[in-house]
């Protein structure tokens, strides 16, 4: 009796749950310390101390009715102003509070902006490999997600194919940089060329094509890499942000959208996104955590922790004969499967209690994703297992 | 360039915003203490002290990664068990954690269950007057909301018309008791008859018709009135709850769905609702507040405060010649407009700085809603104004 669209979704979801359950089963059988679960993108660095301090300060000094009460659907005005000021300082932009809409995480923000923009049948382009939820979010509003095939050498967007796939039906393009699942940061050169293509196609079609930049990993970068701030490269850019990773608050569902004045029909989009936030049932981003993040805009999770994991795992994998790009951001490594069907490889890995996610989940078969937001001990203890696995695959 | 469906939504929303802005303008012009804003359902009783204590206790004793981290999309298992146990104690039911899905408020819960159940073209019935957002929530999934005309004598559901309107296309019925905007509690007699009709129509059509009970006001009742717990009257009942009013936490977006084992296809619905919570972009209910409400299931906002407001306003309105049902729950009074077009009456009221909401917003023209979740002083100071208004309308 459930909705037809949900039947397929439940089936896919069962596969993910099955993997999750398998992890729990293995932990029970072998002991949690002997299972190396690289399948979940759940931060394992605690929230910075500023979060707890901010909560204490807010509850100690602000009125309960204000802290826990309704506000404008777009969020507290002072919080939105604080976010705008912080972005302006970091990226030399000119946002004000009205350009910021506080959202229930980045997932909430993406749904709000897609609800705002999409008519049924509109196309949304994204670059494989990509976070599989984009497909569901687009389908929520009758949109059609089309994927640009990956460049598996660099994992930079395949812009030649992108240019061919843009059409008068393209309403939006979703990019995710630093990228889940590859950890790659799209280069400034990539972004410049992408903007050039988009502008030229807008002109050719007489349409507006919105670039939606999903940026939960913005602060998780290594080796001093810079992540271009996209509104400066392309006018019709809308940014979706989440504090899930930067402040290790994934359960709190707090993020924001940036809708710049330069975007076509900016005012209309701002108004409609405010309404969409309400009618999609979010109503507003959780109130206490709006006030918390406004006090923690300069705080950061311990990126050095992830960096140490990254280096140890990358070096260990290379030593075991595997090949992958050294990620510059996020907390994922995307490893080439040494056997053609990567789900077979995942099953082989499971025999060593190594839990990996098949690249097919990200529209990129032939690869597997490892989330290294785990303890350093897990990394170190897993390395001999990867060596055994590499040996079994004939890599060393 | 925004979505067509959003254009109309933005227009409607502008009317609400205009009223909100008008309130701010009047407050600026005459001083906030001289403006009597009865337009907003925003609790003005602070959260009970247990909320702050619970936050302190949780942050002091629980691990940051657990408190702010991801959990199952349906919520923390211990929280769901605690909610189930509390319901079982209060209503002599037999729920377990798996019957509970923690949601982003009741609005999130309603969207989750409608996404789970509705195919495009499915009908959802509700009883006028009703909370206008039901229309948007139903439309989000291609459903069609059909409203049963009100019984303006008692504001109990009009069951004769309800029976006629049920059809093989009816997938769900939404009820809201204690009711926004009338404050009426649906009687046990009403519920028994409604269940009887639903069962008979299910049999006639060979379908399942789900009764969705939207219950944010369950604990806000007066004069010892009992609100029937609907899963005990009708098997295919799904309850949506919010802590917004009972714990004065409307900004925190925390509530739950109850999906009983007795409901047809219960297991399928539970699984699909879990997935819907994820793909609608909620992902999970805010994590800290899941843990907070589990510790505050017996705490309550100060209902006596609202009760005093209710009595003072009701008596004052009667004295000024107005007629309305004395509400038994929630914090609304639904007053008969003494002039045919109630928006004309709202404009007349505005001259006395009295801000009311036209009944048309709730599909019930000829009435106006007053939200008495304001300060007692506002009520007392508004009464002479209502007398002047009653006099102008020739009521006294």
DSSP states of B314-343 as a string? HHHHHHTT--BPPPSBTTEEEEE-SSSSHH
Closest to A264 (Cβ–Cβ): which among B1, B252, B253?
B1
Q: Do B286 and A286 touch (CB under 8 A)?
A: yes
Within 8 A of B10 by CB-CB distance, chain A residues are 268, 271-272, 275
ipTM of the complex: 0.96
> pLDDT for A215-226, tens place per residue?
999 999 999 999
Within 8 A of A4 by CB-CB distance, chain B residues are 119
Q: Do A248 and B105 touch (CB under 8 A)?
A: no
Q: Do B253 and A284 touch (CB under 8 A)?
A: yes
pLDDT of B168 over the 90 cut = yes
Q: Which residue on chain A is closest to B110 by alpha carbon?
A: A281
Name the E strands within chain A: 36-37, 100-103, 123-127, 144-148, 170-176, 210-214, 237-242, 255-258, 332-336, 354-355, 357-358, 367-371
Q: Which of A32-36, A101-105, A188-192 has the lowest mean pLDDT?
A: A32-36
Q: Do B46 and A65 touch (CB under 8 A)?
A: yes
What mean pLDDT value characterizes chain A? 96
Residue B352 backbone phi and psi in degrees, to 5: -95, 15
Number of A/B CB contacts below 8 angstroms equals 230
Cα separation, A362 vs A126, in Å, equals 11
Site from A4, A6, A278 to mutate, B interface, most B CB atoms within 10 angstroms: A6
Q: Do A42 and B133 touch (CB under 8 A)?
A: no
pLDDT band of residue B352 (cuts 50, 70, 90) is: very high
pLDDT of A20 over the 80 cut = no
Cα separation, A53 vs A58, in Å, equals 9
Residue A86 backbone phi and psi in degrees, to 5: -65, -45
Three-state secondary-structure class, residue B214: strand
At residue A21, the pLDDT reads 80
Give the pair of three-digit tokens for residue A369: 């994703």
Residue B72 distance to chain A (closest CA, Å): 10
Q: Do B252 and A286 touch (CB under 8 A)?
A: yes
At residue B379, the pLDDT reads 97
pLDDT band of residue B283 (cuts 50, 70, 90) is: very high
pLDDT band of residue B34 (cuts 50, 70, 90) is: very high
At residue A179, the pLDDT reads 98
Closest to A252 (Cβ–Cβ): which among B115, B276, B286?
B286
Classify residue B39 by its DSSP letter. Answer: -
Q: Do B119 and A3 touch (CB under 8 A)?
A: yes
> pLDDT for B310-342, tens place per residue?
999 999 999 999 999 999 999 999 999 999 999
Cα separation, B95 vs B185, in Å, equals 24
With tokens 């843009």, the residue in question is A166
Q: What is the value of pTM for the model shown?
A: 0.97
Site from A58, A141, A279, A284 to mutate, B interface, most B CB atoms within 10 angstroms: A279
pLDDT of B23 over the 90 cut = no
With tokens 């302006």, the residue in question is A88
Reference B171, options A137, A4, A279, A13; nearest CA is: A4
Q: Which of A337-341, B15-19, B67-71 has the lowest mean pLDDT?
A: B15-19
Q: Do A116 and B3 touch (CB under 8 A)?
A: yes
- Residue B91: Cβ within 10 Å count: 14
Please give the biggest Cα pair distance in chain A: 65
Give the pair of three-digit tokens for residue A130: 């990509």
Give the pair of three-digit tokens for residue B8: 């109309």
Residues 6+ apart with CB under 8 A from B373: B40, B41, B42, B43, B44, B45, B306, B309, B331
């Amino acid at each position: 009796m459930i909705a037809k669209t949900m039947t397929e979704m439940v089936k896919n979801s069962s596969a993910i749950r099955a993997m999750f359950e398998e992890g729990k089963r293995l932990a029970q059988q072998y002991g949690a310390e002997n299972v190396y679960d690289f399948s979940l993108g759940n931060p394992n660095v605690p929230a910075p101390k500023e979060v707890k301090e901010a909560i204490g300060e807010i509850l100690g000094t602000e009125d309960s009715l204000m802290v826990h009460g309704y506000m404008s659907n777009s969020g507290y005005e002072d919080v939105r102003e604080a976010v705008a000021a912080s972005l302006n300082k970091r990226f030399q932009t000119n946002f004000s509070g009205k350009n910021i809409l506080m959202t229930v995480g980045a997932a909430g923000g993406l749904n709000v902006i897609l609800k705002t923009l999409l008519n049924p049948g509109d196309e949304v382009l994204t670059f494989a490999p990509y976070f599989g939820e984009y497909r569901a979010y687009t389908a929520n509003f009758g949109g059609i997600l089309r994927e640009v095939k990956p460049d598996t050498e660099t994992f930079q967007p395949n812009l030649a194919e992108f240019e061919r796939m843009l059409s008068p039906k393209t309403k939006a393009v979703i990019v995710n940089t630093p990228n889940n699942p590859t950890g790659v940061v799209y280069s400034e050169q990539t972004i410049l060329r992408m903007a050039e293509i988009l502008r030229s196609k807008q002109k050719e079609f007489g349409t507006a094509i919105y670039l939606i930049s999903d940026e939960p990993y913005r602060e998780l970068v290594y080796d001093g890499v810079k992540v271009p701030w996209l509104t400066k490269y392309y006018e019709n850019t809308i940014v979706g942000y989440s504090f899930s990773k930067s402040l290790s608050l994934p359960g709190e569902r707090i993020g924001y959208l940036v809708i710049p004045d330069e975007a076509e029909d900016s005012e209309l989009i701002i108004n409609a996104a405010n309404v969409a936030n309400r009618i999609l049932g979010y109503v507003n981003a959780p109130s206490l955590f709006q006030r918390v993040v406004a006090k923690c805009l300069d705080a950061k999770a311990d990126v050095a922790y992830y960096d140490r994991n990254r280096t140890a795992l990358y070096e260990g994998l290379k030593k075991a004969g595997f090949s992958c790009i050294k990620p510059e951001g996020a907390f994922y490594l995307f490893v080439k499967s040494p056997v053609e069907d990567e789900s077979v490889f995942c099953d082989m890995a499971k025999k060593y209690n190594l839990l990996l996610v098949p690249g097919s989940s990200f529209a990129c078969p032939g690869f597997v994703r490892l989330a290294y937001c785990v303890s350093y001990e897990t990394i170190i203890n897993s390395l001999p297992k990867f060596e055994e696995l590499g040996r079994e695959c004939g890599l060393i």
